[in-house]
Chain A
C-alpha cells in the first residue's frame, strides 16, 4: 500500500469507533483506538534506517487533477520525526486516556473520533508536500482541536476556550492560505520542494515579503507565539490527555514544523531571521515570566509550553542564519537548527509527561489549584518521581535531556552577536541576556510546579477527594516518557544520528547533502570556564534564590494591571466587533422604508451623475428632433398642473382626480405621437385604475401627511429633485447620442408579407414578440389570484376576534 494512505488510517478508524462504542460496552473503547497509533508508529519506524543516507520518499494520489491538486506524502527527516512524535505520543496519550476517562460517564465515542481525526490531520500537515492539501489538513487540526477543547461542552469555560482557540488559529490559517496562494503564483507550482528549488528567484519577487509574513502569521498563531499565545492557556479546559497531546507535543508544534519546513525557502531574508528569532525570544521571556503568576497546574504548564515553543522558534530563526554563514564557517548557527529539533523532541517528552502528571494530580485529588495542593510526595511517590524528572528536565538540569538542549540554546544565543549581517552585531547582545533571564524564570517555575505540589504541608481538608496513588495504567505513559527523558541524556547521539540529523538536513539543504556530513556531536560537558557553564551555574544560583524568596515577590504579579493583558485586548476586540457591528447596522437599518428609499435614490443619483460626468457623456443635440406643436405644449401644461395638484392635494379625492388627469393627458400624448393602441389601453386602464383607487380609498383614512415637519419635506424634495434631474440628464444624453438605427424597419417591411397583419404593434405583441405577451398575461393572472387570496384568506381570524372584543 502506498504510504500516503497511512495518513488516512486514523480517519477510517474513526468511522468504526461509534459502532464499537455502542456494541462493545464492556471494553473501554480506548483499547481499540490504541491499535491505530501503535501500528502507525511501527510503520513509520521502518523508514528510520532508510533515511540515513539522505534519501526521501514520496507517494501521492490525485485529488483534483484538473486543478493540479493532490495529496502528496513526502517523507524526509523532518516529516518522519514529526510523524513518529505524533503516533508515538498519540499511543501513550490514548493509553493514558483509557484510565483517565471513565467509560460509563464520558462520551468516549466523541472523544476518540475527534482524537483520531486530529491524528490524521496532524500526519497530513507534516507529510504534505502540496500547499493546498497542507492547508486542508492544517484547518482540520484547528477544527478537531476546537472539538476536543470543547469536549465538555456543558461547561462555559470549555466553550469559551474552544471558540477562542478557533478564532485565533483559523485567523492564522487563513493568513497562511493567503501566503500559500502568493507562493503558488510566484513559483507556478504547489509543491513545496519545487518552490524550495527555485528559492533564489522567488527571493527577488515583489510578493516574497508578503508571503513570508502571511506564512509566519499562520505559524505564530498555531504555535502560540507572542501575541497569539492567549488561546493556549484557555485551551486547558480540555481533558488532560488532549492538553498533553495537542497543546504540548503535537499541534502547537505544527507552527514550528511550518517554520522549519519553509526555512530553506525564506532563510535568505533578514525579515525571516529577525521575525522568527525575535518573536521566539520575546515569547520565551513572556511565557516564562507569566508562568509564575498562575495558580492552576495546567496554567503553569500552558505558559511553560508557550515559553518553550518560543525557545525552539528562536533557535529555528538562528538556524536560518547559517544560510548566510555557510558550512565552512564553523559557527554555532549550523548547530542552532540541530538544537531546535533536538529540543523539540525533548520538550515533547518532558512536557507530555508533566501534563499527564497534572492530570493524575487532578484525577486523584480533585483539584489543580496549586494553593490547595502540597505534601503529596509521600502519598503519590511514583507520580512525584516522574514529575521531578520532567520538571528538572524543563529547568535544564543534568542528568535530563533538557539540560543538553538548554546548553545548546545558550551557545546559540551567545554566538548570535558574532553575526555581523542585518544589524545583529549591534543588537545581538540582547539575545543571550533575554534568553538567560527567561531561563532563570524557567528554572523557578519548574521548581514551583513540582515542589508546591508535592512537598510542603499536606492539606487534606482543602481537597475535594482523598488523595491516593494513581492506578498503574495511568502511570505507565508518563513513566515511559520520563524514562526517555533520562535515556536521551545518556545516549543523546543515538536519537541525534537517527532522527535529528535527517531532520536538520531537510531544514538546511543548502548546507548538507547527506545526514552523515553533519558533524555535530552532543556533549553534556563543554569544559571548564566555558561561558555556557557559567551561565548554567548562574541560572541555578539565581533561580534558587528567587524560588526561596518567591512568597515575597509573587504577590507583585497581582499588581500587574489587568487591562494591559492581551486577554483583555482579545475580549474587547470580540466585544467591539460584535457590539460595534450591531450598532453600525442599527444606525442604518432603521426599519423605516423611507430611509432605505433615500439610500437607494441617493445611490442612483450619485452613481449615475458621477458616471455621466467622469465619462464626459453629457450631451444635448438639437438634431433629429420632432417639431414642437402648440397643442402639445398645452397637454404638457395640463400634465404638469395635474402633477402639482397631486403634490399639494390635501384631500384624497383631489389627488385621485389629478392622477386621473395625468393619466388621461398621457393618453392624449399617445394620440398625438401616433400610438393609437397605447392611447386606447391607457384610457381604459386609467379609468379602471381610478375606479379602483376610489373603491379602495373609500375604506382608507384621509390623505394624511402625518404631520411632517418642513425639514423632513425639504430633505425629500432634495432627493426627489436629484432623481428627477438625473432622469432628465440621462434622457437628454441618451437621445442625443443614438449610435445605431432602430430595428423597426424590419417589422415595417415584413409585417404584411411574413406575418399577414397590418397593425404593426399588435403583430409585434402576438407574433414577433409573443412570449412577452404570454408572461404579461401570467402577471395579470398572478395579480388577480393574489388579490383574491389577500381578501379571502384570513389566517389571523382568531386574533381579530380578540381585538374586536378588546375594543
Chain B
C-alpha cells in the first residue's frame, strides 16, 4: 500500500505544482491546498501504514499505528489551515485593491519596472 500511496502523493504534488504555476491567483491558492494534502499524506505514508489499531491504549492490543506522525500531521493541518485562510483573505483584498487576479499583472509599481 505504501507504494501506491507514494504514487498518489506524487500525483497530488504534480497537480499542486501545475496549479501553482498558472496565472490565476485562485488556482494558485487551490494548488497550495492540494500541496498540503500531499504533504500530510506523505507524512502518514512514511510513518508506515501498518498497525492494527488506532493509537489509543486498549487492553490486548500490541500493534498500534505509529502515533508520532499523526501528532505531527495534526499540527501541520492546523498550521496549513491558518495559512490558507490568511492567503484567501489576502487574495480577496488584493483583488479588491488591484482589480485583477492575474498574477502577470501584479508586477510591482511602474517606478520599479
Our pick among A699, A703, A761, A786 for the contact of B24 (Cβ within 8 Å) is A703
Q: A647-B15, A689-B84 are in contact. Are A744 and B66 (CB under 8 A)?
A: yes
A800 to B97 Cα, complex, angstroms: 8
Let me know if B12 and A699 touch, CB within 8 A.
no
Let me know if A705 and B13 touch, CB within 8 A.
no
A375 to B77 Cα, complex, angstroms: 92
Q: A731-B9, A731-B10, A772-B75 are in contact. Are A748 and B95 (CB under 8 A)?
A: no
Q: A724-B11, A761-B67 are in contact. Are A786 and B86 (CB under 8 A)?
A: yes
A790 to B85 Cα, complex, angstroms: 12
Interface string of A691-717 (1 = CB under 8 A from B): 011001101110111101000000011
Let me know if B75 and A705 touch, CB within 8 A.
no
Q: A701-B101, A721-B14 are in contact. Are A752 and B77 (CB under 8 A)?
A: no
CB-CB under 8 A from B4, the residues of chain A are 628, 632-633, 636
Which residues from 761 to 798 on chain A have a C-beta closer than 8 Å to any C-beta of chain B? 761, 764-765, 769, 772-773, 776, 779-780, 782-784, 786-787, 790-791, 796
A632 to B41 Cα, complex, angstroms: 14
CB-CB under 8 A from B95, the residues of chain A are 699-701
Residue of B nearest to A721 (CB): B14
Let me know if A727 and B77 touch, CB within 8 A.
no
Let me know if A723 and B14 touch, CB within 8 A.
yes
Which residues from 33 to 87 on chain B have a C-beta closer than 8 Å to any C-beta of chain A? 33-34, 37-38, 40-42, 44-58, 64-68, 70-75, 77-79, 81-86
Q: A727-B13, A731-B46 are in contact. Are A758 and B22 (CB under 8 A)?
A: no
Q: Measured between C-beta atoms, what is the minimum distance from B98 to chain A in Å?
A: 11
Which of under 10, 10 to 19, 20 to 34, or 35 or more describes the interface residues of B? 35 or more
Residue of A nearest to B67 (CB): A760
Let me know if A783 and B26 touch, CB within 8 A.
no
Let me know if A783 and B85 touch, CB within 8 A.
yes
Let me know if A790 and B90 touch, CB within 8 A.
yes
Q: A701-B101, A704-B24, A731-B6 are in contact. Are A624 and B48 (CB under 8 A)?
A: yes
Let me know if A677 and B70 touch, CB within 8 A.
yes
Q: Is A115 an interface residue (CB 8 A)?
A: no
Residue of A nearest to B18 (CB): A720
Q: Is A734 an interface residue (CB 8 A)?
A: yes
CB-CB under 8 A from A732, the residues of chain B are 3, 6
CB-CB under 8 A from A354, the residues of chain B are none
CB-CB under 8 A from A677, the residues of chain B are 70, 74
Residue of A nearest to B44 (CB): A673
CB-CB under 8 A from A751, the residues of chain B are 57
B-contacting 9-mer, from A327-335, A509-517, A586-594: A586-594
Number of interface residues of A (CB under 8 A): 99
Our pick among B48, B55, B72 for the contact of A760 (Cβ within 8 Å) is B55
Let me know if A678 and B74 touch, CB within 8 A.
yes
A323 to B33 Cα, complex, angstroms: 77
Let me know if B56 and A758 touch, CB within 8 A.
yes
A633 to B96 Cα, complex, angstroms: 43
Our pick among B30, B47, B58, B75 for the contact of A659 (Cβ within 8 Å) is B30
CB-CB under 8 A from B22, the residues of chain A are 594, 705-706, 708, 716
Let me know if A769 and B71 touch, CB within 8 A.
yes
A612 to B75 Cα, complex, angstroms: 30
Let me know if B83 and A783 touch, CB within 8 A.
yes
Let me know if B48 and A626 touch, CB within 8 A.
yes
A647 to B19 Cα, complex, angstroms: 7
A639 to B41 Cα, complex, angstroms: 12
Residue of B nearest to A732 (CB): B6
CB-CB under 8 A from B54, the residues of chain A are 674-676
CB-CB under 8 A from A701, the residues of chain B are 95, 101
Q: Measured between C-beta atoms, what is the minimum distance from A153 to chain B in Å?
A: 28
CB-CB under 8 A from A639, the residues of chain B are 8, 12
Residue of B nearest to A697 (CB): B26
Let me know if A735 and B93 touch, CB within 8 A.
no
Let me know if B49 and A675 touch, CB within 8 A.
no
Residue of B nearest to A789 (CB): B89
Q: Is A255 an interface residue (CB 8 A)?
A: no
Q: A703-B27, A734-B46, A761-B71 are in contact. Are A674 and B101 (CB under 8 A)?
A: no
Q: A701-B95, A716-B18, A761-B71 are in contact. Are A724 and B2 (CB under 8 A)?
A: no
CB-CB under 8 A from B93, the residues of chain A are 790-791
CB-CB under 8 A from B55, the residues of chain A are 674-675, 748, 759-761
Let me know if B77 and A682 touch, CB within 8 A.
yes
Q: Is A666 an interface residue (CB 8 A)?
A: yes
CB-CB under 8 A from B18, the residues of chain A are 647, 716-717, 719-720
CB-CB under 8 A from A295, the residues of chain B are none
CB-CB under 8 A from B104, the residues of chain A are 592, 594, 706
A284 to B86 Cα, complex, angstroms: 71
A728 to B42 Cα, complex, angstroms: 9
Let me know if A760 and B15 touch, CB within 8 A.
no
Which residues from 16 to 44 on chain A have a C-beta closer than 8 Å to any C-beta of chain B? none
Q: A626-B49, A676-B54, A761-B70 are in contact. Are A708 and B41 (CB under 8 A)?
A: no
A347 to B78 Cα, complex, angstroms: 79
CB-CB under 8 A from A700, the residues of chain B are 25-26, 91-92, 95, 101
CB-CB under 8 A from A15, the residues of chain B are none
CB-CB under 8 A from B64, the residues of chain A are 674, 744, 748, 760
Which residues from 656 to 695 on chain A have a C-beta closer than 8 Å to any C-beta of chain B? 656, 659, 662-663, 666, 669-670, 673-678, 681-682, 685, 688-689, 692-693
Let me know if B88 and A728 touch, CB within 8 A.
no
Q: Is A372 an interface residue (CB 8 A)?
A: no
Residue of B nearest to A629 (CB): B1
A629 to B102 Cα, complex, angstroms: 44
Q: Is A643 an interface residue (CB 8 A)?
A: yes
Q: Is A627 an interface residue (CB 8 A)?
A: yes
CB-CB under 8 A from B86, the residues of chain A are 783, 786-787
Let me know if A779 and B10 touch, CB within 8 A.
no
Let me know if B81 and A689 touch, CB within 8 A.
yes
A655 to B113 Cα, complex, angstroms: 34
Q: Is A573 an interface residue (CB 8 A)?
A: no
Q: Measured between C-beta atoms, what is the minimum distance from B10 to chain A in Å?
A: 3
Q: Measured between C-beta atoms, what is the minimum distance from A456 to chain B in Å?
A: 58
CB-CB under 8 A from A757, the residues of chain B are 57
Q: Measured between C-beta atoms, what is the minimum distance from A409 to chain B in Å?
A: 60
> Beyond A624-B48, A666-B37, A723-B14: 6 further Cβ-contacts under 8 Å?
A627-B1, A700-B25, A706-B104, A731-B42, A759-B55, A760-B64
Of all A-B residue pairs in the complex, the 5 with the closest CB atoms, nearest first, are: A724-B14, A728-B10, A783-B82, A674-B65, A720-B18
* 24 A-B contact pairs sorted by A residue (CB < 8 Å): A594-B104, A626-B1, A626-B2, A632-B1, A659-B33, A673-B51, A674-B64, A678-B44, A689-B84, A692-B84, A693-B88, A700-B101, A720-B17, A720-B21, A724-B13, A742-B68, A744-B66, A744-B68, A761-B70, A764-B68, A765-B74, A772-B72, A783-B85, A786-B86
